[in-house]
Amino acid sequence: MSDAEQTTPLFQIHDASVVRGGKTILHVSDFSLAEGEHVALLGPNGAGKSTFIQLLTREVFPLWREEPPVRFRGAARPQLADIKRTLGIVSSTMHDQVRVHLPVMDIVVGGLFGTLGVPLRGEVGEKDRALAADALERLGIADLATRDVMTLSTGQVRRVLVARELV
């Protein structure tokens, strides 16, 4: 990695406002997140935590500015696929989409391909399954690998989705 890549933040936000129904629901003056840095978003309901994440993942957009207010690895208009490959986010929306009869292992392996379950085309290799098995093991749910995801508790499904993001 070059020195420039090492000093370029993963995300930068400067003077970004998100407006809904004519009301500013989120304003970020300055925010920077370095590669490998960990942060926690804390606040009461309605504080803008989900909107902030959606701003980073390009699910909502800030008001237009001459200089784009949100940058990913220095890019003003990054590709959504690049962002999604980098971030591991488990949302309630994702949890709601896992209403399918698939083995836990297939859900986790799907994280390697950005799919819900294993791809219909292409072969899933032993290396892929080993990565998924390792993620399940790290979360203490390896014993669920062959279970139908529809038979799991809400908490177990959340852990499966975290494993999916870890692969």
140 Rama sector, left if φ>0, alpha if ψ -120 to 50, beta otherwise? left
Q: What is the structure's pLDDT at 23? A: 95
- Residues 17 and 62: beta-carbon distance below 8 Å: yes
- Answer yes or no: are the C-beta atoms of 97 and 82 closer than 8 Å: no
What is the C-alpha to C-alpha distance for residues 63 and 69, in angstroms, rounded to an integer?
9
Tell me the pLDDT of the chain (167 aa) as tens digits.
Answer: 555 456 899 999 999 999 999 999 999 999 999 998 888 888 999 999 989 998 998 888 999 888 889 999 999 888 877 887 788 777 777 777 788 899 999 999 998 887 888 877 767 889 999 999 999 999 999 999 999 999 999 999 999 999 998 88
C-alpha distance from residue 163 to each of 55, 74, 83, 142, 157 (Å): 24, 29, 18, 10, 10
User: Distances in Å between the alpha carbon of 29 and those of 17, 62, 88, 106?
Assistant: 9, 12, 25, 41
Rounded CA gap, 60 and 25, in Å? 11
Q: What's residue 66's pLDDT?
A: 85
pLDDT the model gives residue 120: 72
- CA-CA distance, 73 to 93, in Å (whole number)? 26
Tell me what pLDDT residue 3 has.
52
Residues 6+ apart with CB under 8 A from 21: none
Instruction: State in Å, rounded, how far the first CA of the chain is from the last one.
Output: 22
- Catalogue all structural domains in the chain, each as residue range(s) with its CATH number: 3-86 (3.40.50.300), 92-166 (no CATH)
Please count the helices (runs of H) and the strands (runs of E) in the chain. 7, 3
